[in-house]
Amino acid sequence: MKAIIPVAGAGTKLRPHTYTQPKALIPLAGKTILSIIVDQLLEAGITEYIFIVGYLGNKIQDYVRDRYPGLNVHFVQQNERKGIGQAIALTKDIVNNDELFIVLGDSVCEYNPKDVLQNEHSVLGVKKVDDPRDFGVAEIGEDGMISRVVEKPHIPKSNMALVGIYFIKESEKLFECLESNLQNNLTSHGEFNLTDALECMINNGIKIAPFKVQNWFDCGKKETLLDTNAILLKKFGHKIAEDRIFENTIIIPPVNIASGCNIRNAIIGPNVTIGENVTIHSSIVKDAIIGTFSNLSDIVITRSLIGSDAEVKGESRSLNVGDNAEIDLGRTM
């Protein structure tokens, strides 16, 4: 059994943060998107991982080696981003016909991977959505198996979206389909999609079952990332490190405050994640994610995403500030 986690995307919808930080490493309820994914798979007993890296891939490698020392990992470079299908195809020699658990690097879901692994068939994670046109879609037959998968259909025949979780028992057949699509330049929406290879498998008689996840959290944009942070904090994220300094400060749960923070004359929360070594003075912060080593003073912020090493001071605003930035919202004289 091997797990594949593609994390080569540029995360353009989360800029300016993803200019300097891979999307998978953005903090979320005291963890990162990537650590949430890996921790779920580790609990299911999966110990060998293939990370497909590209944009800022060195940061992914450093993070994995630092957080998960001793883990059996492989890093595969995707130099040309031609789609998830092309990315998965690069791992063929490492997979070597083993069973696969593929989780896209931005797919944060509430589910039990052990339940998925117990299925006798290959399995695709699905979730009912109101508008499936922006997703891969699974059509489910009368026998309860997936009869067809389509990438971003203009006229969907199902509202069951693929959530980015794939358990593939017949990996040899998957790679045959991927290679066929690459050789025949079979793309959809300008990319080699994994969905097209899965459709090829179904057409070749492979039975694939749907697996409904309990929740699917959207981490694609600032607003939805903040909503996801609030939900996850309520579920399991409330934690305050012991090695921090609070003075004349009110904490409104849920919050997650990392070690080394210095917070004085402030109101923090609810729904706030604060990274390591952050300084906050004379400020009110709620519904926000604050990166490591940032400095906030004389500010009221809400619905804000602040990167690492940023300095913010001044008046009340809703902000989207990348790493290494300095914002002064004070009055000009």
pLDDT, tens only, 243-255: 889 999 999 999 9
> What mean pLDDT value characterizes the chain?
88
- Beta carbons within 8 Å of 252's beta carbon, 6+ residues apart: 267, 268, 269, 270, 286
In whole angstroms, what is the distance from residue 316 CA to residue 129 CA?
A: 35
Q: Is the pLDDT of residue 14 over 80?
A: no
The amino acid at residue 168 is I
Of 73, 168, 49, the closest CA to residue 117 belongs to: 168
In the prediction, which pLDDT does 44 show?
Answer: 92
Q: Which of 8-12, 31-35, 120-124 has the highest mean pLDDT?
A: 120-124
Tell me the average pLDDT across 152-165.
91
| pLDDT at 262 > cutoff 50 | yes
Buried b (16+ CB within 10 A) or exposed e, 238-274: bebeeebebeebebebbbbbbebbebeebbbbebbbb
Question: How does pLDDT run across 175-228, given as a tens digit for each residue?
Answer: 999 999 999 888 887 788 999 999 999 999 999 999 999 888 877 778 888 998
